[in-house]
A = this chain, B = another copy of it.
C-alpha cells in the first residue's frame, strides 16, 4: 500500500499552509479563493483537498500552526531569569522581526474568531493561556519578593494583554509603524505597574535608554 512518506507528506501540507498564509494576509479569509491559494502554492485544487477537507479546515489548520508556535515561544517567558528582558525580547520578535504577512494574519485570525466558533476555540485558548501564565508568573515573583505590585494581579495581567494587543494591531494596520519607538516606553510602563524591588527584575537602570533614537 504505497503512500507518501510522512516527511514529504508534511512538506506538501506546509507548502500549502505557507501559500495560504501569504494569500490570507494579503486579502483576508473570505476574499481569498481556493484557486488563488492553489496558484500561489503551485498545486491543483484536487491536491489541496487531499490535505484539507474544506477551506474552513485549511483556515483552522493555519490558525493552529500559528498559535502553537506562539504558545511555545511564550512559554519560555516563565523560565526566563529576567522577566522584563525576556518580555521585551518577545516583543522585539513579534513586533519588529516578524514578517508583515504573519502579523496581518494574526489580526485576521482574531477577527475571524469573533464569528467562527472553531477559530474562536483555537484563538481564545492560547489567549487564555497567556493571561493565566502572566498571573502565575506574577504570583511567583510576588511570593519571591521580587515585585511589589500596587494593583491586583489579574488586572495587571489584563493590562499586559491589552498593551500587547495594541502593539500587534498597530503594527499590522500601520505599514511604517516604528515599534522600536514605543516598545521601550511600554516596557517601562509595565515595570511601573510591577514596582520591582530587587535587582533581578529590572535588567537595565531606568535612566538612559527610554528616549527613542529619533524624534520627528
Contact B212 A152 (CB under 8 A): yes
Q: A175 → chain B, closest Cβ, in Å?
A: 8
Answer whether residue A146 sits at the interface, using C-beta atoms and an 8 A cutoff.
Answer: no
Interface flags for A155-170 (1: CB within 8 Å of B; 0: not) read: 1101101111111111
The number of chain A residues touching the other chain, given as a range, is 35 or more
What is the count of identical protomers in the complex? 2
A186-B159, A189-B193, A192-B192 are contacts. A167–B169 as well, Cβ < 8 Å? no
Contacts A28-B111, A152-B212 known; list 20 others, CB within 8 Å.
A28-B28, A28-B30, A29-B31, A30-B31, A31-B115, A104-B114, A114-B172, A151-B185, A155-B182, A158-B181, A159-B189, A162-B166, A162-B182, A162-B186, A164-B166, A165-B165, A165-B170, A189-B189, A189-B192, A192-B192
